[in-house]
Amino acid sequence: MLLFKTILQPRALYLRYQSSWGFCLIRKCRMSSVPLAAICQVTCTPDKEANFAACMRLVEQAKEGGASMVFLPEGFDYIGSNQEETLKLSESLLGNTISRYTQLARKLGIWLSLGGFHERGEDWETDRRIYNSHIIINDTGSIVSVYRKGHLFDVELTGKGVSLKESSFTIPGHSLMPPVQTPVGKVGLGVCYDLRFPELSLALLRHGAEILTYPSAFTVATGAAHWEVLLRARAIESQCFVMAAAQVGCHHAKRSSYGHALAVDPWGEVLGDCGATEPGLALVEIDLQKLRDTRRNMPVQQHRRDAMFYCSLD
């Protein structure tokens, strides 16, 4: 049995439904030639097969809704219950998981942003460490960019129950990747904790980014405090769209995620929010004319001083 509910938000009408197996979709009713992108929200577990099935349904429904590109969150492949399991389940880019996603992209003719893949490092056989990798696949099933997360989440918030040391098993990426031209705009790649470092977003902006993407698995405590305000800040300061797919809910006994997969426009307006409870997706228009108008009317980048000005206190 399906439960239907309409949600009226500024400039958009959404249709939401929830089935007995807990999946929900937010579909935007529209009459426009502006390209659509889909931000997705999932609850991944150590079960890689179930995770792929859930993500595949989201991608298929995004395609049915008219999306040209789909954004999946950090840990879309799995979220392990401990370090040993996390490492054991990891794969290379040539493994079964990415192969299945390249086939899916090719079959549906859709671009995919796969943010936060557990990629085995070059020296896996000796050091058993991985990268946290953001992969872009085009509509012919080819990998066109791989960004390896540069800022690792080593945080101990004892009063809030947050204790993670990503660097104990993850290798930090060595460099940023140039923004990728896609059907929805030029996409600059980040992953989760990268969101807290505006230097990254401004570097991507300087190289032509129109969309910043931060696939994430934010903790409940840090998400409630910082998630939306950080995403809107990155959008406003860079005058870019921001697409932030997210994990939601309980992954296993030791970990839960905040949810609220979010899309933000260059003025800082929230275009889509998947909420805090269920898997789902939001279809949003990426109106690059609005981006150009925002940058023309408030030419922040033209007002930016040269690097020496900002280093003058050093």
For position 67, what pLDDT does the model report? Answer: 98
64 catalytic? Reply is: no
List domains and CATH numbers for the chain: 14-301 (3.60.110.10)
Q: How many C-beta neighbours within 10 Å does residue 55 have? A: 24
- pLDDT of residue 8 exceeding 60, the answer is no
Type of residue numbered 131 = Y
Longest dimension (CA), the chain: 64
Helix ranges restricted to H, 152-197 = none
Q: Specify whether 285 is catalytic.
A: no
How many whole angstroms separate alpha carbon 76 and alpha carbon 70? 12
Q: Which of 74, 91, 210, 278 is catalytic?
A: 74
Q: What angle do CA 264, 170, 129 make, to 5 degrees?
A: 145
- When pLDDT is averaged across residues 4-9 and rounded to a whole number, the result is 30
- What is the value of pTM for the model shown? 0.90
Half-sphere exposure of 218 (CA within 13 A, CB side): 28
With a pLDDT cut of 90, the percent of the chain lying above it is: 83
Candidate list 24, 28, 91, 149, residue with the active-site label: 149
Q: Is 74 a catalytic residue?
A: yes
- Answer whether residue 157 shows pLDDT above 80: no
Q: Which of 192, 210, 274, 278 is catalytic?
A: 192
Q: Which of 281, 279, 229 is nearest to 257 (CA)?
A: 279
What value does the mean pLDDT of the chain take? 90
d(CA 243, CA 258) in angstroms, rounded, equals 16
pLDDT-based confidence at residue 230 (cuts at 50, 70, 90): very high
Give the rounded distance of the alpha carbon of 33 from its chain centre: 24
Q: What is the mean pLDDT of residues 16-42?
A: 63
Residue 10 to residues 13, 28, 118, 148, 161, Cα–Cα distance (Å): 8, 12, 37, 36, 36
Token pair in block for residue 258: 């905040």
Q: Would you place residue 161 in the very low, low, confident or very high pLDDT band (cuts 50, 70, 90)?
A: low
**Do 208 and 189 form a contact (C-beta atoms < 8 A)?**
no
**Which of 59-63, 112-116, 163-167, 290-294 comes out lowest in average pLDDT?**
163-167
> How far is it, in rounded angstroms, from Cα 138 to Cα 110?
7
Alpha-carbon gap, residue 46 to 48, rounded angstroms? 6
